[in-house]
Amino acid sequence: MSDAPSIDHILIVGGGTAGWMTAAYLARRLGAMRPDGVRITLIESSEIGIIGVGEGTFPTIQNTMRTIGVDEARFMREAGAAFKQGIKFVDWKTAPQDGVHSHYYHPFAQPRLLNGGLDLAPYWLMGEAGNIPFSDAVTLQDKVCDAMRGPKRLDDPQYGGPMTYAYHFDAGKLAGLLRDVGKATGVKHVLGNVLSVNKTDDGSIASVTTREHGDLVADLYIDCTGFAGALIGEAMGSAWIDKGDTLFVDRALALQVPYDRPDAPVAATTISTAHEAGWTWDIGLPERRGTGYVYSSRHTTDDRAEQILRGYVGKAGEGLNPRLLKLKVGHRDRHWIKNCVAVGLSGGFLEPLESTGIVLIEAAAYMLARNLPRRGGMEAAARQFNTAMTDRYLRAIDFIKLHYCLSQRTDNGFWTDNADPASIPESLQDHLAMWKHRPPNVFDFPNLHESFKYFNYQYILYGMGFETTVDPAAHVHGDLARADFGRVREAGLRAAASLPDHRALLTDVYTKGFSTKAPDLAAAEAGEAPRR
């Protein structure tokens, strides 16, 4: 394929969250309903279900849904969504002893920078906050989450509020909502099964052959076929780079369980609890809990994994059968080859610990929309895209591995193997060596579009008990820091007392909606890329 032809028609192969989020986003940003816009077609098979492991998101999802043009209350109702303010990590630092459990939070809020931008981390390390967990000392969100409060009030603006937040949702319902929105904004929906991919002499995709509709022709093909990678892998030959030597989990048992009573509290965070060979997720939705056990088949058996999961959910799981999912952790060596781009699981998967699945879809869709080589320059655009996506995957791998390698658990080879330096990427080892002598800062992550910022690393490091030695002579504003810690504490108490109960807020959102209209597309486009 020449580097010159225009991109006037994009064919997305595969639906689900990846396909329909990409389709709806591109349709809005590329003017699919305008005569001069880019036509968007999505073909999906009714015979292929949604994997739907991840039911959590980053705060980036607010900008994505706002850009797509979805009212926040409608989004929450139709996706069965609840608010998410971060992750509560239970028993990750040490195994429970005599029924005593430890925990820490990874909140979405950025640490408060008070008194002229003073970084409080060194002063927390020096003990100026007293015996208070790091995240509780520098944000309001711990107290809000402990109190089971929502992140906003009904009269706050749509896609905004006092607390930084994302959502938990029903994966199947979200895909349905995105399908409806995509079709309403110009996406042509085709039901069918792709049988083969046809290529030109130069290796580009010429068309895809379907069972029901013959050959479908486009200028750019987006592979959203999941782990199958039918276009980017099978047809275009992009190799899969396995990361199982760094991230060990390769199985998941998923189980949807009811609440014990209709008015049961809805958790404001994902609850991630470490176990002998992996961890359980526990996601609160208005009508049910989404639970599951992610584990390493090299360190346990499927039967033992089911015992762990059933032990965690208790009576709520009686009479219910978990769904077994086999996970392939890694990413493609190239995400864009010729006129084929991988988005979602076809491009990579890094386990659901920090909800990276959705944010990587968002990142890919955003880059495609902003940098689409519509009138030429495809080869250069592909190189840029590949560099950016590979970097995102590698940095996300480092961040996820951080949770495991800092654990002091020794109750299973899973944890001791994770602490083995041979399993830790050199880039993360270098950072850990530096962070023994100073906290993470902005200069550690020069990429503007990093999924995880320096403060995300601080939350994990100091939640897990990582020791950083700081020089008191270089940090002489202890009096200011102590005052700041006090202000954060008081503000947290006020927020926990004044924000509404999470379940009560969800009931109001579902029945009444928010009092303000959603910002228009132009307002959404004024922002930068969806980021944390």
Catalytic site positions: 84
Alpha-carbon distance of 191 to 213, in angstroms, equals 9
From residue 289, how far is each of 76, 103, 157, 206, 282 by CA, in Å?
16, 20, 28, 45, 7
Q: What Cα–Cα distance (Å) separates residue 17 from each residue in 24, 100, 290?
A: 10, 39, 17
User: What is the number of alpha carbons within 13 Å of residue 83 lying toward its C-beta?
Assistant: 35
Amino acid identity for residue 373 in this structure:
P
**Unique residue bearing structure tokens 């890094």:** 350
State both tokens at 349.
């998967």
Contact 474/441 with Cβ under 8 angstroms?
A: no
Tokens of 30: 């590329």
What residue type is 105 in one-letter code? Y
Distance of alpha carbon 120 from alpha carbon 118, whole angstroms? 6
Give the 3-state secondary structure percentages of the chain, helix then strand then coil, rounded to 5.
Answer: 40, 20, 40
Neighbours of 41 (CB within 10 A): 18
203: CB partners within 8 A, 6+ apart: 1, 236, 337, 338
Buried b (16+ CB within 10 A) or exposed e, 157-189: ebbbbbbbbbbbbbbebbbbbbbbbbbebbbbb
Q: Judge contact between 271 and 244, C-beta under 8 A.
A: no
* Closest C-alpha to 216, from 393, 504, 12, 458: 12
CA dihedral 135, 167, 65, 8 (to 10 degrees): 100
DSSP H helices, 219-323, are 302-313
Return d(Cα 368, Cα 59) in angstroms, integer.
20
121, 407, 449, 451, 475 from 454: Cα distances, Å: 11, 20, 12, 10, 19
Considering only CA atoms, which of 446, 203, 244, 200 is closest in space to residue 334? 203
Taking the mean position of all CA atoms in its chain, how far away is CA 477? Answer: 36
Which candidate, 12, 16, 65, 13, places its Cα nearest to that of 357? 16
